[in-house]
Structure 1
Amino acid sequence: MAVSPRLRNTLTLFSARDCVLCHRVRLVLAAKGVQYDLVAVDPTQPPEDLIDLNPYHSVPTLVERELVLYSASVVTEYLDERYPHPPLMPIDPLSRARLRLAMLRLEHEWVPHVQAAQQASTKAQAEAARKQLRDLALAALPLFKASKFFLNPEMSLADCAMAPIIWRLPALGVVLPKEAKPIEDYGQRIFRNPGFVRSLTAEEKNLRELPV
């Protein structure tokens, strides 16, 4: 797998314009203050560079010199280790493992319903996905009440996975009841961060209003 000379000298991220997994990676890069080149991709028509680099032709895909990484979880953990300040994972193994499990659950349980709501071809499919997301959010409500950030006193990779989902809920038509206010409060704390604003594409900025 040869990396194009055009990409070798820069950190490059292949990213869709509105993708919860790509947003996760862009949020980590913004939190770290890392400069990179963004290549906007239509996932249904991947460019030749991406086809050559990634056997799955998927986004997000990160390229740094001869290194090519794909899968949001792999990319974000690499970035946290490659650019250690500020750290986005706790030091102790138990807390790290707990956050990794939480991120795995987000990938397997939350993200598919976000994607289903975005790509639904019928009202019934969209409503089913919205209901699943609403139920997941309400089931997780005690976790949002327990800490300023998700399962951790400081912002972590888990927040970089969760915040893009919360950002999209209104645009997906997911309406949470009043008792879910801690979830919205959690989101607003992160959305006010300049790094979060930097992580947004133009399309994602249109999904809801930024807090003032």
Structure 2
Amino acid sequence: ANTLVLTFVGWEGVGVCSYWLISYYFDRDSAASAGKKAFIYNRVGDAGMLLAMFLLFSHLHTLTYLTIFHRAGTLSPTIATLTVLALLLGATGKSAQIPLFNWLPDAMEGPTPVSALIHAATMVTAGVYLLVRMSPVLALSSSGRLTIAVIGGATAFVAATIATAQKDIKKVLAFSTVSQIGYMVLAVGS
């Protein structure tokens, strides 16, 4: 996608499909609850992405990546930082980072192939992709990048610690995934 609008459409599609897949066994309370939790946490992240899009459009008058990158230097430091923090909120929802990391371990209620899909290819990597894709904007805010690094580092540590106390192998895998994505987020912010 060459615009944030198309990215957001795909972003929403992944979120809605993941909700359906996590809730596949909807007749089980735990699966239905996990699906709802994933849906709500992802909507919080979506609000962050929409806020970032609003800030960019209201100040740069475009949502096309190349034009955003070309005009990004005209953003005030405050708007740049707010945009970076809004992008971070979007990424924390999809990539299961602190404070929105609780949905991923519960998503293990879905069928095992769904868990593998969410962990390897779709949901959790989408937030990191968004941050990397918007790196020219991230470069404008050192405090925003520091916040990204702190969130990633804290998530990596906390999730790895929680994983060591789990008895269910799917939960261990889920917290391990959250931790590894935390390292990626830390790297983006560094």
Bin of the TM-score, shorter chain as denominator length: 0.3 to 0.5
Which has a greater percent of strand? Answer: 1
Which has a greater percent of helix? Answer: 2
